Chain A
Amino acid sequence: MLILECPYCGVKAEETELTAGGEAHLKRYGPGSSDDEFEGYLFTRENPMGVHFERWRHSNGCGKWFHAARSTTTLEVFGTYSAQTTEPPQEIKDKISARHPGWSWRDQS
């Protein structure tokens, strides 16, 4: 059972306090977008073996959404960070690079 630190209240919360919210850093496409753009936004998801960026909510806690960078294979957590951002902080990307040189995820690397 995972532990993730909520960056908003500082609690190292176990999974039963949290709700998983799927892939992070999706760009919303609304009216006016093409069918392909909208389909990509609504349905296409990464399914990596390894580095992944996810959304979690501290639902049985402060109620805030946050982001987590972790490995789907080793379950190593590289860090958690604010949900109010469109890409992972450099510090977390550096940490991933140290563990997994040459990693990439969507347009991140």
Chain B
Amino acid sequence: MSDIATSLNGASFEGITRVEEMRAQGMITLRGDFADPAFVSAVTGLVEADMPGQRQVSTGAERSILWMSPDELMVLCTYAEAPILEAKLRDALADQHALVANVSDARACFELVGGDLREVLAKLAPVDMSPEAFAVGDLRRTRLAQVAGAFWLSSEDKAQIVCFRSVGEYMFNLLKTAAQPGSSVGFI
């Protein structure tokens, strides 16, 4: 839909890493019992990705599943597909104690590409960003400066960051500041 407006409408910045707001990302929050095979098979079947391990991202052919807490997952899909997938998941989990909510509009998503992206994150989050402590496929929910957020590396030179939509502009300016030219730390 042409009326779709994300927090920053795809703004970008080039510094010691590239910072870009991702346009509309489909996201579905799922809560349920991971120990229940019926929950797991319903979710993995519809999303077509494996269940992620603790603090992991499981990437399927078209969608991903993020581990958010011991009873919460986040499914990533296209923005257009989210309401459809939400309905399918809700149907499939109707007989179980589970919660499904489309939260695609509730978030702002950013991508860091190349350069010193690990160091840019390490300026904002109290997280050990060294490769031995944080690998591709790991996910971390934490704070970035003063707001809550989650991030993961989809590859060695690509990081995804998610925060609440209302602080999207704050997050973009934060990442821009942390990525300012001349600010490479040379530690990680």
Is the A/B pair a real complex? yes
| A residues in contact (CB < 8 Å) with B | 8-11, 13-14, 16-17, 59-64
Q: Which residues of B contact A17 (CB under 8 A)?
A: 126, 142-143
Distance to closest chain B CB from A2 (angstroms): 12
Give the contacting residue for A8; candidates B70, B126, B143; CB below 8 A. B70
A-B contact pairs, 13 of them (CB 8 A): A8-B70, A9-B54, A11-B55, A13-B126, A17-B126, A59-B148, A60-B141, A60-B143, A60-B148, A61-B142, A62-B68, A62-B141, A64-B69
Does B140 sit within 8 A of A, measured CB to CB? yes
Determine if A60 and B54 form an interchain contact, defined as CB atoms under 8 angstroms apart: no
* Residue contact B69 to A10, C-beta cutoff 8 Å: no
Instruction: Count contacts on B: residues with CB < 8 A to the other chain.
Output: 12
In the complex the two chains form, what is the Cα distance from A64 to B135 in whole Å? 24
Inter-chain CA distance A14–B126, complex, in Å, is: 7
Chain B residues proximal to chain A, CB less than 8 Å? 54-55, 68-70, 72, 126, 140-143, 148
Bound form: Cα–Cα A63–B70 in Å: 10
Are A16's CB and B54's CB within 8 A?
Answer: no
Report Cα–Cα, A11/B143, bound state, in Å.
Answer: 13
**Which residues of B are found within 8 Å of A62, using beta-carbon distances?**
68-70, 72, 141
In the complex, which residues of chain A have a beta carbon less than 8 angstroms from the beta carbon of B70? 8-9, 62, 64
**What number of residue pairs across chains A and B have CB atoms under 8 A from each other?**
35
> Which listed residue, A14, A16, A61, touches B141 by the CB 8 Å rule?
A61
Beyond the given pairs A9-B55, A60-B142, A62-B68, 8 more chain A to chain B contacts, judged by CB atoms under 8 angstroms and listed by A's residue number, are A8-B69, A8-B70, A9-B141, A10-B55, A11-B142, A14-B126, A60-B143, A64-B70
Query: Which A-B residue pairs are the 10 nearest by beta carbons?
Result: A62-B69, A60-B143, A14-B126, A61-B141, A60-B148, A8-B70, A60-B142, A10-B54, A16-B126, A17-B142
- Which residue of chain B is the closest to A59 with respect to CB atoms? B148
- When C-beta atoms are compared, the residue in chain A nearest to B150 turns out to be A61
Give min CB distance, A5 to chain B, whole Å. Answer: 13
> Chain B residues with Cβ under 8 A from A14's Cβ?
126
The distance from the CB of A98 to the nearest CB of chain B, in whole angstroms, is 29
B69 neighbours in A (Cβ, 8 Å):
8-9, 62-64
Tell me, rounded to whole Å, the shortest Cβ–Cβ distance linking A4 to chain B: 13
A9 neighbours in B (Cβ, 8 Å): 54-55, 69-70, 141
> CA A63 – CA B126 in complex, angstroms?
16
Q: A16: shortest Cβ distance to chain B, in Å?
A: 6
Given the complex, which residues of B lie within 8 Å of A64, measured CB to CB? 69-70
Shortest Cβ distance from residue A54 to the other chain B in the assembled complex, whole angstroms: 20
